[in-house]
C-alpha cells in the first residue's frame, strides 16, 4: 500500500517568500539614524564636537540617551557620518553642474555659486563639520574624507586651465584654486544674509576677483 503524502498546512502554504517583513521599529531605523545625523550636524556647529554630548544629540533627535549607540558605535563614528554626508552631497550637486554644456567662464560661475549655496544654505551644518571638525576623526577616516575633498576640488582644475589658456584667469591655476577655495570657505565664518548681500552678489564679487572681463 502506497503511503499518502501529507498535504502542506495552510500556514506553510501561505508563507511569504524572500526576506521576512520588517517590524515597524525596523522600518523606522533608517529615519532615526538620519535624525541623529541631522541633529549631530546642527549641534556640532552650535557647540563644537567636543562641546556636544551623545545625550544632547539623542535628546535633539527625540530619543533616549542610550539609543544613539544602537545606530553608532561612538560620537566619533557619528561625526564621520556627518562629514561624509556633507562631502557626498556636495560632490553629487557639483557633478550635475559639470554635466552641463557651458563654456568655462559660465561653468566657473556656476561652481562658485553652488559652493556658496552648499556652504551657506543647503548643507551649511554639514559643511561646517567638514571644515572645522575633521581633526576629531581617526587617521583612516581622515584619509577617506581628504580623498573626497581632493576629488571635489580637482574637478575645478580643467575649468581653471581652460580659462588660463584664454587669458581670462588672473592667477596661475594652482594659486587661483587655493585662493578661490580659501575665500569661499571663509565665508562660512562671516556671511550673514541679514546684512543685505545675496549669494548672487557674492558670486559676482568672487568671479570679478579671479577673472578678467575680457581675455588678456
Residue 164 domain boundaries: 76-216
pLDDT band at 6; cut points 50, 70, 90: very low
Examine residue 184 and state whether it is found in any structural domain, yes or no: yes
Domain count, the chain: 2
- Asked whether residue 98 falls in the same domain as residue 171, the answer is yes
Is 169 among the domain residues?
yes
Q: Are 66 and 100 in the same domain?
A: no
Q: Are residues 91 and 50 in the same domain?
A: no
pLDDT tens, position by position, 113-164: 999 999 998 779 999 999 999 999 999 999 999 999 999 999 999 999 999 9
Which cell numbers in the block locate residue 180? Answer: 578661490
Return the pLDDT at 212. 87
Number of Cβ within a 10 Å radius of residue 169: 24
Of 19-28, 45-54, 121-130, 148-157, give the lowest mean pLDDT range: 19-28
**Count of residues making up the chain:** 216
The verdict on 91 and 61 lying in the same domain is: no
* Domain finish residue from 56, 72, 88: 72
Quick one: pLDDT at residue 17? 53
Q: Tell me the C-alpha distance between 102 and 34, whole Å.
A: 35
User: How many whole angstroms from its chain centre is CA 91?
Assistant: 7
Instruction: Tell whether the model's pLDDT for residue 15 goes beyond 80.
Output: no
CA dist 174 and 164 (Å) reads 11
Tell me: pLDDT of 175 over 60.
yes
Are 90 and 197 contained in the same domain?
yes
C-alpha grid cell, residue 70? 544602537
Residues 56 and 85 occupy one common structural domain: no
Q: Are residues 68 and 118 in the same domain?
A: no
pLDDT at 4 over 50: no
**9 within a domain of the structure (yes/no):** no
pLDDT of residue 30: 63
82 — phi, psi (to 5°)?
Answer: -60, -50
144 lies in the same domain as 185: yes
Amino acid at each position: 500500500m502506497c503511503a499518502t503524502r501529507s498535504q502542506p498546512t495552510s500556514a506553510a502554504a501561505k508563507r511569504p517568500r524572500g526576506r521576512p517583513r520588517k517590524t515597524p521599529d525596523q522600518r523606522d531605523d533608517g529615519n532615526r539614524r538620519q535624525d541623529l545625523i541631522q541633529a549631530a550636524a546642527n549641534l556640532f556647529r552650535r557647540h563644537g564636537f567636543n562641546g556636544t554630548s551623545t545625550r544632547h544629540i539623542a535628546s535633539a533627535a527625540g530619543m533616549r540617551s542610550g539609543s544613539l549607540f544602537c545606530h553608532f558605535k561612538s560620537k566619533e563614528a557619528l561625526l564621520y557620518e556627518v562629514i561624509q554626508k556633507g562631502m557626498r552631497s556636495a560632490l553629487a550637486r557639483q557633478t550635475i553642474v559639470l554635466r552641463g554644456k557651458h563654456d568655462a567662464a559660465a561653468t566657473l560661475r556656476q561652481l562658485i555659486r553652488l559652493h556658496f549655496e552648499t556652504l551657506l544654505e543647503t548643507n551649511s551644518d554639514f559643511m561646517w563639520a567638514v571644515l572645522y571638525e575633521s581633526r576629531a576623526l581617526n587617521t583612516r577616516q581622515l584619509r577617506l574624507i581628504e580623498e573626497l575633498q581632493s576629488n571635489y576640488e580637482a574637478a575645478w582644475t580643467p575649468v581653471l586651465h581652460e580659462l588660463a589658456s584664454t587669458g581670462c584667469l588672473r592667477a596661475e591655476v594652482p594659486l587661483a584654486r587655493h585662493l578661490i577655495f580659501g575665500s569661499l570657505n571663509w565665508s562660512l565664518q562671516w556671511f550673514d544674509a541679514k546684512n543685505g548681500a545675496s549669494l548672487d552678489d557674492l558670486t559676482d564679487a568672487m568671479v570679478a576677483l579671479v577673472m578678467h572681463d575680457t581675455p588678456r
